[in-house]
Structure 1
Amino acid sequence: MGQFTEQGFIRSRRFLVIVWPVLALLACAVLWSVTLARAHGERVRADAQARKEASAYAAAYEQYITRSVGQMDQIAMQLKYSWEHGARGELLEQLRRDGMFTDAAFSVVALVDRSGVVRSSTRPTLRGLDLSATSFFRQHQNAISTALRVGMVPPQLALGDDEILFTRRLDTIDDEFDGVVLLAVDASYFTSFVGPETLGADGLLAVAASESPLRLEQHASGAPHHMLPRDAAWTADAGVELVKGPDGFADGRARIMGWRRSPVYPLVATVSLSHETALAGAEGYWQESRNRALAASTLLLVLGAVGALLSRRLVLREREQEQVRRAYRTATESGNDGFFMAAAVRNRKGEIVDFTIDDCNERGASFFGMTRHALVGSRVARIDDGLFGSDLLAIYRKAMEAGFHEDERPLPGDGRAQARWGRRRLVRVGNGLAVTLQDISERKAHEHALERLANQDGLTGLASRSAFLEQLPVALDVARERQRALALLFIDLDEFKHVNDAHGHGAGDQLLKAAAQRLQSLLRPSDRVARFGGDEFLVLLDPCEGEREVGAVAQRIVDALAAPFAIGDDLHAVGASIGVALFPRDGADAETLIKHSDMAMYAGKNDGKGRYRFFDPTLSNSLRARSRLKQNLMEAIEDDQFVLHYQPRVDPRDGRLLSMEALLRWQHPALGMVPPGEFIPLAESTGMILRIGELVMDKACAQVAAWRSEGAPLVPVSINVSARQFQRGLVPQQLAAALARHGVPGSLVEVEITESAMMSDQDAILAELAELRALGIKLHVDDFGTGYSSLSQLQRLRMDVLKVDRAFTAELGKSNEGTVFFQAIVSMAHALGMGVVAEGVETMEQLAILRGLGCNEVQGFLVARPMPAREMAQMMKRRYLIDTAVRVA
C-alpha cells in the first residue's frame, strides 16, 4: 500500500508541472477580462455620469430661466395694471427716476399705445418710435390673450442679436386692444448661469423658444455663437441625448445635450457637455489599466514557469512514506472533538520544562489554526499562546500535578481556531497528557442571546429599559461614594409620530436605529444610553462637571438629531427635546431623576421643541397648571363654554359691510374670558382642536340662522379651519351637516385655510377643496405671505380670496417697498381671479393706500374690534361702518 501511496504522490507532483503554466495562462485571461470589463464599465459610468450632470444642469437652468422670466412676467403685469388704471404718460421715466429698471439687464422697458407708437420708455430716444409693423405688435393686436410673449428683438429697436424680448397685451376696460408692454433684456441675464469651471472648456449653455426661432447661447470656451443644431427638436419635456456627426453642433464636436422645457413659459433650457471631456478620465483609466495588466501578465508567466520547475524538482526529492497511523486514528478522526497527546519534556532534575505534541487528530489541530502535519512534533511553549492564553504551559504543568484539569474560555475571533468558545479537558496518562477540546460556541451563543434579549433593545441595539433601570442605582451609589455629579438626559423625538403615521412603522424603525447610532457617536465610553420606550431615550453622563458641560453635550445632541435622516429615498426631519436632571441636586434616587428629567423635557417641548432644558422645581407647578387647563378645556367642550365673536370686513371705498370673520372665545365660569393664545396651542397639541373646530362650524351656522330669523341683512361669515382639521379630510362632511342642520345656504359661509395646511398630498387637497366648492362655499387663503405658496399652486388650488397677513399691512406708509410689494400681491391675485382682504388695518393712511391699490376688503381695529353676536347684528343693520368723511376718495 505504501508503494501505491508513493506512486500517487509522485503522480500528483508531475501533474503540478503542467498545472502551474496552465494556471498562469488562466490568471492572465482572467486579468485581461477584468481589465477590459472595468475599462468598459468606466466608460459606461463616465457616460452615465455626464448624462446625469447634463440632466441636472438642464433642470437647474430651467428653474433659473423660469424664475427669471417669472420676474419679467411680474413686472409686465404690474406695468399693465398701472397702464390700465390710468398711469400713463411718462410712467416709465418716473419709475426710472425712482430707482426702478436701473439694472444693466434691462436694455429697454417701454409702453406702446394702440397705434404702435412708444408712449413711455426707459430710453427717452425711443419715445415716438412707430412699432406697429413689428410681428409682436400685430400678434397682440390680433389676439386677445394677455399671456406673456417671448421672442426676438425687432430691428427697429437697434439693440443687436443678444437680446430677448418680453411683451404683454394692454386692454381697455372693455377688453379692447390698448397697446403693448415691452421689455428687452440682455441675453447674458439668462445665459450667465454657470461658467467653464462647471461645464468644461467645450460646454454650451442655451435657451430656445419653443414657439419662435429664438436661440440664445453661451459658450464656455468663447467660441462663436450659433453652434446649437438649428433643427434641434425637443419632442419631450425633458431629456438627455448624445449629439454628434455633421447634423450636430457647428464645430463638429460630440456633446451630451440635456434639455428641460419650462412648465410655465414656452422656453427650453439646454446644457451641452463635451463627450470627449466626459470620457477623458475613462480613457486615462484604460491606458493605466492596460499597462498594469501587461506587467502583471509578464510576472504571472514567469511565476508559472518557476512553479513548474520547482514542482519537477519536488517529484525527484520527496520519497518519504507516511508513518503508520496509530490504532486510535479512526476513532479520533471520526469524532467532532479535538484530541491530542502531549508528552512531558523534563530536564536533568526531572522538572517539566515543556511538552511535545506526539499525536493529534485534524480537529484538535484546527483549534490551534494548524494542520495535523504542522502540529505534530511541536513544542507547547512555541505554540501561539493567543489561542488559549499566555499561561498554557503553566496549565499543562498543573494538570500533570493534579491529574486533571478542565476549563472554558473564549477563542480569538480571527478564524484561526474555527470556533469562538472552547472547553478543554486535560487528563494525565503516564508521562503525558491526553487533551480533549470541544467546540461549545453554539451553547455560548445561545446563552449570550438570552442575556442580550434581557439587557438589550432588539431594534436599536442600545441598553433596554430594564437593564438601564438596574444599572442606574448602582451608578448613583458609586457617584455618591466618590462624591461626584451625574446628569440624566431624557430625550424625546419631536416629529416621530408624523413619520410613523405618514410613512409606516418600517420607516419609523429605521429612523430610530439611525437616531440611536447618532446618540452613541456623541457620547464618551463612560456614558450610558438606553431606549426608554417608543421614541424616548435616556442618557447618563458619568461623570459630569456641571451645567455648562452638560448643556454643551445636550446642545450637540439637539443639533445632531435636528439634521434630516435619509430613510430610503426620502429625508425626514424630526428634531428632539431634552430634559436634564442633575444628581444629587435634582434627585437622590433613580425614580426621582427620571421623573424630573421627564418634566424638564415636556417643559422644553411646550416652549417650542428642538431644545434642551434643565429641571426647575417650578416646573411641577407649570405642569400642574397645564394639566388643569387641559382638564378645563375638556370640560369647556362638554359644557359648551365657547362663544363666537365677529369682526366685520368692509369695502375700503365706501365702508360698506361685505362680510365678517367668526373668532373663537372661551368664556370660563371662574376664569372669565380666556384668550385664544392660551388654549388654542394646547388644543392643537392634544387633538381637541378637531372637536372644537366642529363646534365652531355648528355655532357659526346656528348664528347665521338666528340672524336670518330676526330679519338682519346677512353677509357671509368666514370660519377658520386648522391645518389638523383640514388634513383629516372631514371638513366638507362636517360643514355640510351643519348647513343642513340649520338650513343655511353655503353662500353665507366661507372657509379660511392657512398656507401650511395645503402643503401635504396635493390630490387629497384638491378633492377636499372641490367638495367645499360644491357646497357653494368660498375659500380663503389665510395669513398669505407667512407660509409658502407658489403661483402655480394658487392657480391649481383655485382659491377665491387672499387674506394678506397683518405684517404686510403694517408696512404700508412706512416704505415704498412695502407698497410695491402689496401692489404685486393685489395684481397677482386679481390676475388669478381672486379677491384680496387686508388684515390688521389700523390707520386711515393704510386705508387710503389700500383703496388706491384696488384692495377688495379691509379688516382691522380701524373698522371695528371683534364683538359679540348681538352687537354684530347692529353693525349689519347700520351697513356702512366707516364715517362719511373717511369714505371720500
Structure 2
Amino acid sequence: MSKPSAHTAPRTHRFLALLWPALALLACAALWTATILHAGAERRRAEEQAFKEADAYAEAYEQYVTRSVAQVDQITMQLKHSWEHARDRNLIENMRRDGMFTDAAFVNVSVVGPDGTIRSSSRIHGRTLNLAHAAFFVQHRDNISTALRIGVPPPELDEAHGTILFTRRLDTADDEFDGVLLMAVDAAYFTSFVSSPTLGPGSLLALVGTENNLRVEQDARGVVRTQGAAALLPANADRWPVARGVQLVTGPGGFADGEARVLGWRRSSAYPLVTLVALSHTAVLEAADAYWTDSRNHMLLATAALVLVALGASLLSLRAGARAGERAEIQRAYRTATESGNDGFYMVAPVRDRKGQTVDFRIVDCNERGASFYGTTRAELVGSLISELHQGVSFDDLATNYRTALAVGFHQEDRRMPDTNRLNIRWGHRRIVRVGDVLAVTLQDISERKEHESQLARLANEDSLTGLPNRHWFLNFVPAALARAEDGGHGAALLFIDLDEFKQVNDTHGHAIGDRLLQLAAERLLSQLRPGDSVARFGGDEFVVLLSPFDSDQQVAVVATRIVDAFSKPFAIADDQHMIGASVGIAVYPRDGLDAATLIRHGDIAMYAGKAEGKGQYRFFDHAQSNILKTRTQLRQRLLEAIDKRQFVLHYQPRVDTRTGELLSMEALLRWEHPQLGMIRPDEFIPLAESSGLIVPIGAIVIDAACAQLAAWRAQGAVPVPVSINVSPKQFLRGGVQRELADALARYHVPAGLLEVEITESAMMGDQAEILAELAAIRALGVKLHVDDFGTGYSSLSQLQRMKMDVLKVDRSFTAELGRSKEGTVFFQAIVSMAHALGMEVVAEGVENEAQLTILRALNCNEVQGYLVARPLPAASIAPLLAQRYLFDDALAA
C-alpha cells in the first residue's frame, strides 16, 4: 500500500484555508440578501397596512360625518317646520333660552328674512347686517328646492370664521320664498372623529365639499384649518375620480408641507362631501426603517463574526488538519443553529433496565431556548430524567411517543400541554428523530398560532352582530343533530323565522337602529327556547331554530306561538318603540325532509306561505305550498321573457265630460299578450311584478308604448286626446320617472300636454322633499298629475295641498255606493268639494249605469270613466272614437 504524498497535507490545509473565507463570503451574501429582502418585505407590509388603515379610517370618518350632518339636517328640518308654522320672531332666542344651541359648536343659528335681514338669531346682530347678497342667500332665493345646502360662511358673518355653514330655504304658505335658515357649526365638530395621537404624527384629517370650495382639515397637533388658512391638502384635493380610494401623495403638487402621506378618501353616500384621512408616510415606515437599521447592525456584526470564524477556521485548518477542522466547524455550526433559533432542542437518551426495556429517558443535551420552556437553564436541565419533569398521563404519553420514534425512526405531533405539565407553553409542536441510539427532539411553541386558529374558527361560526351561531355553523351542525335524532328514534323540527317590517324600520331609522333591533330580537328569541334547542342567525333578518327532541306537532306549535307572541310586543330602543313581528315556517324531520338543505327550503316555503296569508303567524310545511311557489317562480320567469320580448300591449279606456260626453282623455291599461297562454289579466301578474320589482322595467315599457301610440295616431291624421299612464309606487319612489318621460316624449316628438301620469296615494308616502322635487320636475315638463284610486290609501288634505296635483280620480268603490245609500252620496260630494277647493278636477271611476251618471252631474263631477262610456279598447278601436269625439248617445246627453 502506497504512502500519502508529503505534499498532500499542506495542499489540503491550503485548500481549506481558502475554502472557509469563500464559504463565509457566500454565507454573508445569503444573509445580506435575506435581510434586505425581509426588510423590503417589512417595508411593503407597512405600506400595505397603511393603505388598509387609511381606507378603514376614511370609511369610518365618512360614516361619522354622514351621521353628524344627518343630525344637523334633522335639526334644520325641525326649525324650518317650526318657523313656517309659527313665524315667531323670537323663535331661536326662545329656544336658546330653553337650553338649545348653547353648545359651543353652534356658532350661529339664525333666520334670515326674504330681504336679507336677521329675523331671529342665537347671536346679537346689528339691524344693519344684511345678507341679501351672500351666495347662499341668492342660491336659495332663486331655487325652490328645500334641500339642505352645505358651504362656507360669507364674509359678512365674521364670527362664523372657522365654521361650516348649513342653510335651508324657508317658504310661505304659498311656497313663495320666505328667507333662509342658516346654522354655522364649528368645523372642529366634524374633525373630532378620532384623536390625533391615534392617527399618528404627521397625520391629517380633512373634509371637502364636492359642489363648492368647502375645505376643513385638522393636523396631527389638533389644529383645525378652514379654506384659505395655510391648508396642507394638495391643491387638487377636491377632484376625485372615484367614490373611494387610497393613494400615496408625494412630491410636487402634493401636501403643502412637502411631507409624503398615504391619503384615503370616501365620498359621503348622502351629502356632497368627501372625507379624507392622510397618514404620514414617514411614520408608517418608521418601524420598517428601525427594523432595517437593527438588521443592518446585526448583519455587520454577523459579517464580522463570519469573517473572524473563516479566518479562525483557516488557521485551524493549517494547524490541525482537515478532519479536526471539519469537526470543530460542525460543532460550532450546531451550537449556533440551536442557540440562535426560537425552537427548543434536546438530545434524549433512553434509560433501560436490566432486561433491556426502556423505562425512562434522560436529557443529555439541550439549548437555552429548550431549557427556558421548563423555566430553567441548560446547565440545570441537562441530565434530568423525563419522569422528573413530567408526571402521570403527561409522562406516559411522552414516553410512548419517544418509544415510537426509537422503533420507527421518526414521530411528530401538535399537542396541547396539560396544566400539570412543567412546560410553560400551552401548545407545542414536537418533532422526534432517531440519531443512532439517541433522539433529537425539536419543540416549537405554537400557542400563538393555535390561538389564532381558534379565533378564526370562532369568527367563521359566529355572527358578529348578535353573537349567535351563523349559517356556516348551523349547516354543519344540523346533519349531526339529525343523525342523533334518528339514532334516538325521535323527531326534529326546523323553524324558519323572518322578521316582519324589519326592512321598513331599517330603511326609515338607519342601520344603527336596525342592528340594535336585530340584537334585541336575538335575545328575545333565545328567551323563548329550551336550553337544548339550537338557534342561529341565518342571514339578514332571518333566524333558524332546531327543536330536538319533540313529542308532537302540537309541542312545536306551542313554541312557534310563543315566538310569534313574543315578537308582537314592541322593542324599546332609545326613546322610541319599534313594532315588528315574526313569521315562522316549520319543517319536521323526517316527514318534510331528510337533510338540512331540504328542511331549510321547506321551512322557508312555509314561512312565505304564512306571510302571504297575513304576517305574524306560523305555518307547517305543506307540499301544496311548494307547488304555489313553483307556479310563482314560473310566472316570474315568463314575466322576464315578456319584458325581453315586449309581449305587453296597451288598451285604452275613454274618459268623457260628465255632461256632454265629449272625449277628453284616455287611461292606458296594461295587458299581457302571451304567445301560448293568450291574453293574461293584469290582476294575475301585476301583484307579482310589484313584489319582485319587475314593475320598474314594465313601467318603462308602458311609457314608451304610450308615447309611440300617440305619435302613430298623429301620423295617421287623428287628433289624439291626452293619455294617462299609471306609475307604480316602486317605480315612482325609485326616482327617474321624469327622466324616462322626457326621453320618451323627445324620442317620439310628442307634446307633453298629451301625456298624463297617475300615481296612487301609497306612492306619496316617503321622503316628502324627494317626492315634491320629483312631482315638480314632472310638472315642469308640462305633464299633468293625477291621484289614482283616491280613498284607498292614507293621503291627507295637507298632503294633497303640498303635492299640487291636477286631477283626483275617485276609486270605483265610492262610485258603486252612489244611489245605494245617502252616506255614499254625501261622502262623494265631500270629495268633489275638497278637490275643487284645491283646484283639482274630479274623475269618477267605475261608472256603470245612468243613475250614477245623474248623481255625478248633480255633484258637479268633471269627468266619468267606466263601462257606461266604454270598456278598455285596443289601439285600433280608438281611432273611430277620436273622430266621433262625443260618446254619449241622445239618451245620455245632458
Q: With structure 1 as the length reference, what TM-score do the two structures score? A: 0.50
Q: With structure 2 as the length reference, what TM-score do the two structures score? A: 0.50
